[in-house]
Chains A and B, each alone.
Chain A
Amino acid sequence: MLDGCNRLQTMLRILLRLAVPGVICAALFAFTLSWNEFLYALVFVSPAELKTMTVGVFSELIRGDIYYWGGLMAGACIGSLPIVVAYVFFLDYYVSGLTAGAVK
C-alpha cells in the first residue's frame, strides 16, 4: 500500500484529506437542504415547542387569513443567516483545502 499505510490509514490520512473540499461541499448542501426542510416537519410535528423554524414561523404567524408579514419576513431574515454564515465561513476553508491539496 501507499507509504506504509494499510488500507484504513490510506483512506483516513490520504483519501479523506484529498476529499475535504468535496466533503465540505456535500456537508454544505446537506445542511442547506435540512435547514430548509419543510414538508416532513409540517406533517410529523405538532407541539409548538418542538417545531422547526420553517414550520413554526409558517404556522404561528399566519392565523386564519391574517398574515403577520413583518414577523414572517423577520423570521425569514434570521432564518437565512445561518446558511449565509456557513457558506461564508466554509468558502475559505474550501478554497484553502483546494490549494493545499493541489500540485503547484
Chain B
Amino acid sequence: MSSAARWTRRIRPLFTLYVPVMPFVLFALFPLYFMVVTSFKKNAELYDVNAVPFLIGRGVTFGHYELLSKETLFWSWFLNSLMVSLAATVISVVLGVLAAYPLARLKFPRRDLVRRGHLRHVSGTAIASVPAAQHGGGAARPVRQPLGAGGHLSDVSRPLLHLAPHGVLPHGAGRRSRSAPCSTGATGSRRC
C-alpha cells in the first residue's frame, strides 16, 4: 500500500465519522459539563447575573458538596436509591429471563399478543426487549419447535440481545430480516 493510500485510510474516518458525530457528542455532553461547572462554583459567582455562566471565573469550591453531606440526608437518600434500584433490577431481570424463554421458544395461545408489547408495560424494562424478536422477523418462522428439534439456540438469546451489534453474533438478527434474506455475515455462519 502506498503511503498516500495509507494516509487516506487513516484520515478518512476523521471526516466521515468523527467530525460529523462531534456536534451530537457536544450536544449530549454539554448539560453534564454545565452541571459539573455549576456544582463547583461559589455562590457569589453563581448568583451574579453578570458572570459568565459557562466558566468558573472566581475559584473552585466544594461547599455545595459539604452542604449536601452535612445539612441534608443525601447519603441515606443515595443508599435508598441504591437499594431500591438494585432490588428492582434483580427482580425484573429474573422475571424477564423467565419470561423470555417461553416467549421465544414455546407456542401458546395469544403469545404474539404478549410479545407485541403487553409485557413491555407490565413488567418494565427487562422484558422490554422481548418484542424485538419481531423486528428481526422472528414471527415469520412458521413452526417453532422445542430446543433440540431443529430450533435455534439463539432464538432465546435474541429477544434479549437486540441491542448487540448484530454482525458479531453467531446468528445475527440480520439473518432473518426481510430486506436481506440470505446474506452471509461477518462470521460466515449464518443460515437461511
| Shortest Cβ distance from residue A72 to the other chain B in the assembled complex, whole angstroms | 8
A35 and B81 within 8 A (CB):
yes
Q: Does A80 contact B (CB under 8 A)?
A: yes
B74 and A22 within 8 A (CB):
no
Chain A interfacial positions (CB closer than 8 Å to B): 1-2, 7, 10-11, 14-16, 18-19, 21-23, 25-27, 29-31, 33-35, 37, 48-57, 60-61, 68-71, 73-80, 82, 98-99, 101-104
A70 and B73 within 8 A (CB):
no
- Residue of A at shortest CB range from B87? A34
Q: Could you pull out 15 A-B pairs where Cβ atoms are within 8 angstroms?
A: A2-B147, A18-B153, A19-B97, A27-B93, A31-B86, A33-B125, A37-B84, A51-B77, A55-B77, A70-B39, A71-B64, A75-B74, A78-B68, A98-B165, A102-B168
B88 and A102 within 8 A (CB):
no
B77 and A74 within 8 A (CB):
no
A19 and B68 within 8 A (CB):
no
User: Binding site of B, secondary structure by majority: helix, strand, loop or mixed?
Assistant: helix
Chain B interfacial positions (CB closer than 8 Å to A): 32, 35-36, 38-39, 41, 43, 46-47, 63-65, 67-68, 72-74, 76-78, 80-82, 84-86, 88-89, 92-93, 96-97, 100-101, 124-129, 147-148, 153-154, 156-165, 168-170, 187, 189
Contacts A14-B153, A49-B73, A56-B77 given; does A23 touch B168 at CB 8 Å: no
User: Binding site of A, secondary structure by majority: helix, strand, loop or mixed?
Assistant: helix
- For B35, the chain A residues whose CB sits under 8 A away are 73, 76-77, 80
A102 and B148 within 8 A (CB):
no
Q: How far is the CA of A76 from the CA of B126 in the complex (A)?
A: 25
